[in-house]
Structure 1
Amino acid sequence: MKILQLLRDNATRRPVNLVRNGADATLYIYDVIDPYWGVSAPGVIDAIAQAGDAATLHVHINSPGGDVFEGRAIMAALGRFSGKTIAHIDSLCASAATSIALACDEVEMSDGAFFMIHNASGAVWGDKNAMRETADLLEKIEGAIVNDYVKKTGLDEAQIVDWMNQESWFSASEALSYGFVDRIAEAPKGAKNTWNLSAYTKAPESLCKTEPEKLETPPVETPPEDKKPAMGVANANRLRLLQVV
């Protein structure tokens, strides 16, 4: 239930912003990863389409994570971009947001930012069979995420699994030394944590104490009920509640 709390507390519904500047385009993922409450895969896909034939797409990230399946769809969308992709971790890159960052060709992390990985988690209601089925599904999901981290870092799978079991938070220098990012950038002036991270058990105290910062972004229209994606009750229970790295 802690991950559901994360989504509830950070449900700001900020739009996906894309800026085109000459040969480059800049995409901002500054929200939870979620099809209804934050950055959605369709929103990112639309933004990438607006980038058109840009030679380079800069993906700026400040996100506490969110829905694993939405995150995987965003990863696939970035992989289909014809130009070069560069992730810029501006402040926080946690949970599902880390996989999005690593889907880019290069990863740059601001000095003072944080990178967090942890185990898959979810909620299920049912008997012992439903519980076992969900646990098996979570292990499969974790396997895909571990593969992403191993591919990027070149580290041993056992080390990645151990870090995920512990809910591990890495500074920019640590993330660089372990191979999660390719370089460190100077931190933006006045960078602040904008998220309620109480859903995580080991969030750095410095982040938990930081006052939320209001982001100046234009309002986004809420799609009408008949336009929202539909899914069966069983899939809603299994997929919508799964939140992960």
Structure 2
Amino acid sequence: MRPNLLNLFKANARRGQFRAEANSLFVYDVIVGSDADAEWFGGVSPEAFTRALRAMTGPVSVRINSPGGDVFAGRAMAQAMREYPGEVTAHVDGVAASAASLLAVTPARCVMAPGSMLMIHQAWTIGLGNAGDFRQTADLLAKIDLTIADDYAAKSGRPAQEFAALMAAETWFTPAQAIAMGLADEIAADLRAARPEAGVEARWDLSAYSHAPNTAFDPSLADADVARIAAQIVLQLDARQTPAPAPDPIAHRRRQLAARLLAPTA
């Protein structure tokens, strides 16, 4: 297993910033699990985000330029946005990748800057243990993926299975594609709205991902093209899940006998 999660944190440590300014929260950093993690890696924690949001009143803009990070931290931040009594608008100023995409799709309105991108993929983790431990971890990751696909489906009104397929392919959406898929609502009309002086030009190291910045889908793809590709991926995944043929009982018995003979030397 490639240590993608550690690579993402290590490559982007101390590159970004999180701050509250007027009625805007700038999530221009990696998302980490706690204040303690933020002290070690840098990044924005759910505690810091929630404290800043609760100190605000009235409409709030959550401005996002983040390569992602801890999925459960992203969940906690998304829940804080849901519980905020005022109106929240997400602005994707640069990139909203991985866990940061949850921040983009949670509010009722998501605005993407021209040239920005939103990325969805399957959850990652780092594990230690025996075969049983890794099976349990794989089962947990599958459950996490289902909950994330449900979030995208809730935002878009499209089937969760479609997003599960796009997550498996690690999909990078341009603003037009995100709007076509129902993950975003509009493209910012004024380039100055992206506030490049606030850090939108931060150069994230996205090498931990397989298709960054946009090799998975061409920017010219229309809604029908993206839906067609998603349907193809669903069919491919279904084919992979076809049950394997029943094992030959004689061959199985031979393997058992061979294992017994080899056991003393293992």
2:155/2:182 contact within 8 Å kept: yes
1 or 2, which has the higher strand percentage?
1
SS of 1:66's equivalent in the other structure is coil
Task: Label 1:160 to 1:87 Cα distance change in 2 as closer, same or farther (>3 A).
Answer: same
Give the greater-gyration-radius structure (CA): 2
Q: 1:14 to 1:171 in 2, by over 3 A?
A: closer
- The correspondence of residues 162-181 of structure 1 with structure 2, limited to 5 A, is 162-181=165-184
Q: Which residue of 2 aligns with 1:31?
A: 29
Q: Distance in 2 between matches of 1:189 and 1:84?
A: 21
The question of 1:202 aligning with 2:205 is answered no
Point out the structure with the larger helix share: 2
Consecutive unaligned residues of structure 1, counting only runs of 5 or more, are 207-245
Match of 2:55 among 50, 60, 71: 50
Provide the rounded CA distance (Å) in 2 between the counterparts of 1:189 and 1:150. 30
Q: How far did 1:199 drift?
A: 0.3
TM-score normalized by the length of structure 1? 0.78
8 A Cα contact 1:16 1:47, kept in partner: no
What CA RMSD, in Å, does the superposition of the two structures yield over aligned residues? 1.7
1:202-222 deviations in Å (ceiling 9; x for gaps): 00269xxxxxxxxxxxxxxxx
Q: Secondary structure at the match of 2:55?
A: helix
Equivalent runs, 1:116-131 vs 2, <5 Å = 116-131=119-134
> What secondary structure sits across from 2:115 in the alignment?
coil
Report 1 or 2 for greater relative contact order, CA contacts < 8 Å, sequence distance ≥ 6: 1
Which among 26, 46, 52 is matched to residue 41 of structure 1? 46
Distance 1:123 1:27 in 2: 30
Deviation at 1:49, TM superposition (A): 2.2
Q: CA deviation at 1:189?
A: 7.3
Shift of 1:13: 6.9
Distance 2:6 2:132 in 1: 23
Asked if structure 2 preserves the Cα contact closer than 8 Å seen for 1:92 and 1:193, the reply is no
- Structure 2 residue identity aligned to 1:201: S
Q: 1:162 to 1:193 in 2, by over 3 A?
A: farther
In the other structure, the counterpart of 1:19 is 21
How far does residue 42 in structure 1 lie from its aligned partner after superposition? 0.6
